Amino acid sequence: MSLEEAAAAVRTAAERVFGEHVDQAAGYVELLERHGVERGLIGPREVERLWERHVLNSAVIGEQMPQGARVVDVGSGAGLPGVPLAIARPDLDIVLLEPMARRVDWLAEVAEKLELPITIVRGRAEERPVREQHGGADIVTARAVAPLARLADWCLPLVRSDGFLVALKGASAAEEIERDGAAIRKAGGADPLIVECGAAVLKVPSTVVKIRRLPAATKPKARSRKR
């Protein structure tokens, strides 16, 4: 495939994923191209593949989210996957959670310039105030944050019962599930599922690990002592 054909394929995919909001998505890519490397948000090699490897890759996980879902994006960093999700799915109620002040500032700039109605919070998923204020989410997302064992421990407490942690992973997904299965169950998660997203539009679909938060176990009633 020539460079021109590859560029045309990306444009077609972007139009299918973002629809009438494709110009907003292009604005986000432009901001990353101009400022991403200098602000430590992306590596220099990523500039040429922002659409396929980052923006489209993130947006298509919206396939796993019901209409109007409350979503918390943990460790949002450059805004991935939260910003592409907010553009592709304006029906979602999205919180971007990020501990680093300079990245929080970046996210605020992006939200203002693109006019995105998202909430940006400085904090960590494991902090009590964050869990108290933003817990009960339908979906919690994470991309390139931590192995599944730690993600489950940090993120599942933010998920409502029968909600989901949707973690973007790559080829290591099956290996992580096998290694971290016990830790996931200990954190309150059901058996993980590997799901491909964007198969209809992307040459390489996004791989996510989807973990349902199990309802809290009902404690058995204490038996009364016979006298």
Angle made by CA atoms 151, 205, 59, in degrees to the nearest 5 = 65
96 annotated as a binding-site residue: no
The Cβ of residue 186 has, within 10 Å, a number of other Cβ atoms equal to 12
- The Cα 183–Cα 151 span in angstroms is 10
Coil/strand/helix, residue 201? coil
Contact status, residue 97 vs residue 134, Cβ threshold 8 Å:
yes
- The Cα 168–Cα 166 span in angstroms is 7
75 annotated as a binding-site residue: yes
Sheet holding 93-98, edge to edge: 119-122, 93-98, 70-74, 137-143, 159-169, 206-212, 193-197
For tokens 């992580």, what's the residue?
176
Write the CB contacts of 178 (distance below 8 Å, at least 6 apart in sequence).
none
156 annotated as a binding-site residue: no
Residue numbering of the annotated binding site for S-adenosyl-L-methionine: 75, 80, 125-126, 143
Residue numbering of the annotated binding site: 75, 80, 125-126, 143
